[in-house]
Amino acid sequence: MTAPFFRTRITELFGIDHPILGGGLMWLSDARYVAALVNAGCMGFVTPRSFADDTAFAAALVQCRELTRGRPFGVNLTLSKRPEANTAVRRWMEIALAHGVRHFETAGYAPGELIGTLHAAGAVVLHKAPGLRHALAAERAGADAVALVGMEEGGHPGANELPTMLLGALAAEQLRVPVVLAGGIGHGRQLAAVLAQGLDGVLIGSRFLVAEEIATHPAYKRHLLDCDEQSTVRLLHTLGNTWRVLRNETAREVEAIERAGAADHAAFGTLIDGRATRDHCYAQGDWQRGMVSLGPSIAFARRIEPLAAIVAELLAQARASLARLPSLVSPVPEPA
């Protein structure tokens, strides 16, 4: 593990060594990946929706506790606008709390009630928000920290069309709780820039997809090494469900249907079913099939390697960037 170098409010809040969080990745945030984040001095979040049933989810929590040798890890809880769809979220929360989890990443609709319940259990809650308005609402609802997501995020960045760094500059003026930035983050220079703004860290997803601990097919990971910053596309924005994905055959089909004037999700059939990504891309390496969530920060991926090595490189890059700053500042003249 890389020795601690940066201390921020987010490292203190989560009791971690580095101001780096791994976002909850659908189908991929399992015990092995989350434990790798924790063991590298970061924080990760198991995604309950990635498991076939509650038994499998609970088993993953037990495995993660074993792999981290008892070090704290987190769980992602994503809320839907439809109340009936959140029954499972309450159940997953109870399972996580029963297994000793006290760090949570919430996302989605109106987290206030959920935050209150988690606080009553002694938990720490970071809410992932797709814009400044939502971040401020989460702060008022009691969130202990906020992950502010820019339009560069792989997956679902919401209706936000503002870039990550602009949101960060605005957040530094308006939010009181610790703030981490997400969306397009994949190099230590960006971590340095975030800290220089007065914010508290970063949340990363796509850059970690080439980690050895990510359970995807080797052929898919090899393809990711060939991707650049133009290898993703934002789709379904006209339906209010923006999704940034890998440019592949499925994405091109979806784009054509959307341009033809699709009025609802039914027009896309099974093309936008996330299980296609799991079954074809992640399991079999057929990266042309499925809406494969991916952000442009994949351009920074150079090799398949242990997650700890990626974290160490990010930290070294950030240190080098910040070490350069004093040389850019002119000395203050002595008073006459």
**Structural domain contains residue 157:** yes
Tell me, what DSSP letter sits at residue 82? S
> Is the Cβ–Cβ distance between 90 and 79 less than 8 Å?
no
User: Region 304-328: what's the mean pLDDT?
Assistant: 96
Q: What are residue 155's DSSP bridge partners?
A: 244
268 — pLDDT class (breaks 50, 70, 90): very high
Q: Which of 253, 247, 208, 204 is nearest to 229 (CA)?
A: 247
**Structural domain contains residue 331:** no
**Structural domain contains residue 182:** yes
Question: Are 263 and 144 contained in the same domain?
Answer: no
Question: Are 101 and 242 contained in the same domain?
Answer: no
> How far is residue 309 from each of residues 48, 68, 95, 312, measured CA to CA in Å?
27, 17, 32, 5
135-173: burial string, b at 16+ Cβ within 10 Å, e else: bbbbbebbbbbbbbbbbbbbbbbbebebebbebbeebee
Give the number of domains in the chain: 2
> Is the Cβ–Cβ distance between 121 and 95 less than 8 Å?
no
238-273: burial string, b at 16+ Cβ within 10 Å, e else: ebeebbbbbbbebbeebbebbeeebeeeeebeebbe
Domain that holds residue 237: 232-284
Q: How do strand 243-246 and strand 232-235 relate by DSSP bridges?
A: antiparallel
Question: Are 186 and 68 contained in the same domain?
Answer: yes
**Structural domain contains residue 4:** no
pLDDT tens string 146-158: 999 999 999 998 8
83 — pLDDT class (breaks 50, 70, 90): confident
Question: Are 196 and 129 contained in the same domain?
Answer: yes
174-198: burial string, b at 16+ Cβ within 10 Å, e else: ebebbbbbbbbbbbbbbbbbbbeee
**Structural domain contains residue 190:** yes
Question: Are 137 and 240 contained in the same domain?
Answer: no
Q: 267 pLDDT exceeds 80?
A: yes
Tell me how crowded residue 71 is: count the other CB atoms within 10 A of its CB.
Answer: 15
Question: Are 182 and 49 contained in the same domain?
Answer: yes
**Structural domain contains residue 329:** no
Share of the chain above pLDDT 70, in %: 100
Question: Are 145 and 36 contained in the same domain?
Answer: yes
Question: Are 157 and 209 contained in the same domain?
Answer: yes
Q: 336 pLDDT exceeds 80?
A: no
Cα dihedral across residues 208, 213, 216, 218: positive or negative: positive
Question: Are 170 and 306 contained in the same domain?
Answer: yes
**Structural domain contains residue 259:** yes
Question: Are 192 and 50 contained in the same domain?
Answer: yes
**Structural domain contains residue 324:** no
pLDDT tens string 103-131: 999 998 888 999 999 999 999 999 999 99
* Ordered DSSP codes for 257-319: HHHTT--SGGGGGGGG-HHHIIIIIIHH--TTSS--B--GGGGG--S-B-HHHHHHHHHHHHH
pLDDT tens string 26-75: 999 999 999 999 999 999 999 999 999 999 999 999 999 999 999 999 99
Question: Are 264 and 151 contained in the same domain?
Answer: no
CATH code of residue 203: 3.20.20.70
**pLDDT for the residue numbered 158:** 82
Work out the mean pLDDT of the chain and round it to a whole number. 95
User: Region 219-241: what's the mean pLDDT?
Assistant: 96
Task: Give CA–CA dist 266/103, Å, rounded.
Answer: 36
Question: Are 158 and 272 contained in the same domain?
Answer: no
